[in-house]
């Protein structure tokens, strides 16, 4: 089965009644956890971006607390998992300010964790990549916000 285009889906959804639309949404939520998470964001956090950021930060804190530091392999694997999660939540929001907030929080947690971030190592390159993504996202914000976030970025030595 080939997936329909967005415009075709939009026209089909506009024909449905509210109960049929609700049933389709619930059926969609049953299939993948990511669909359920996106639906949760759209229903509960779409108008409360600050609450959304706070809940994501709490989840990041829990994941950092659970990092197995016995072997570097497990550290890298855990950090990549956290980045995938952060990227997913940024994608849900689509807001540049949320992206900057979450990436800055991730970078600050990574630095405070005491994990070695030597330049040229996998984790060091990952850290530098996140800094570049932060700079790119900051460039798309309003000038006042750019200044605030640039000074925040300078605290981490990433300016």
Q: Identify the band that residue 140 occupies on the pLDDT scale cut at 50, 70 and 90.
A: confident
CA–CA distance from 44 to each of 51, 54, 91, 107 (Å)? 9, 13, 16, 27
The DSSP H or E segment spanning 134 is: helix 122-139
State how far the Cα of 158 lies from the Cα of 56, in Å rounded to an integer.
Answer: 23
Mean pLDDT of 52-78: 92
pTM to 2 decimals? 0.84
DSSP type of residue 42? I
- Greatest distance between any 2 Cα atoms in the chain: 57
CB 42 within 8 A of CB 82: no
Q: Identify the band that residue 84 occupies on the pLDDT scale cut at 50, 70 and 90.
A: very high
Q: Identify the band that residue 158 occupies on the pLDDT scale cut at 50, 70 and 90.
A: low
Q: Higher-confidence residue: 91 or 5?
A: 91
Q: Cα-flanking dihedrals φ and ψ of residue 14, to 5°?
A: -70, -25
- pLDDT confidence of residue 151: 84
Residue reference for tokens 């049933």: 23
Lowest pLDDT segment from 51-55, 105-109, 147-151: 147-151
159 has pLDDT over 70: no
1 has pLDDT over 90: no
Mean pLDDT of 54-75: 91
Q: Identify the band that residue 97 occupies on the pLDDT scale cut at 50, 70 and 90.
A: very high
For residue 153, give both structure tokens: 């970025």
For residue 13, give both structure tokens: 């959804």
**Which tens digit of pLDDT belongs to each residue from 13-54?**
888 888 988 888 888 888 888 888 888 888 888 889 999 999
Provide the terminal-to-terminal Cα distance of the chain, rounded to the nearest Å.
49
- pLDDT confidence of residue 54: 95
């Amino acid at each position: 089965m080939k997936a329909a285009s967005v415009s075709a889906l939009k026209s089909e959804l506009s024909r449905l009644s509210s109960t049929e639309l609700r049933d389709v949404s619930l059926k969609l939520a049953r299939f993948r956890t990511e669909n359920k998470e996106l639906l949760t964001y759209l229903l509960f956090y779409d108008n409360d971006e600050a609450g959304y950021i706070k809940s994501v930060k709490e989840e990041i804190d829990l994941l950092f607390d659970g990092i197995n530091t016995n072997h570097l392999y497990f550290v890298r694997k855990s950090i990549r998992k956290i980045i995938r999660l952060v990227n997913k939540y940024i994608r849900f929001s689509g807001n540049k300010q949320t992206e900057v907030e979450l990436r800055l929080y991730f970078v600050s947690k990574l630095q405070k964790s005491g994990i070695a971030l030597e330049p040229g190592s996998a984790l060091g390159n990952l850290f530098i990549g996140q800094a570049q993504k932060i700079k790119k996202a900051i460039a798309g914000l309003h000038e006042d916000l750019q200044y605030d976030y640039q000074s925040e970025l300078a605290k981490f030595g990433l300016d």
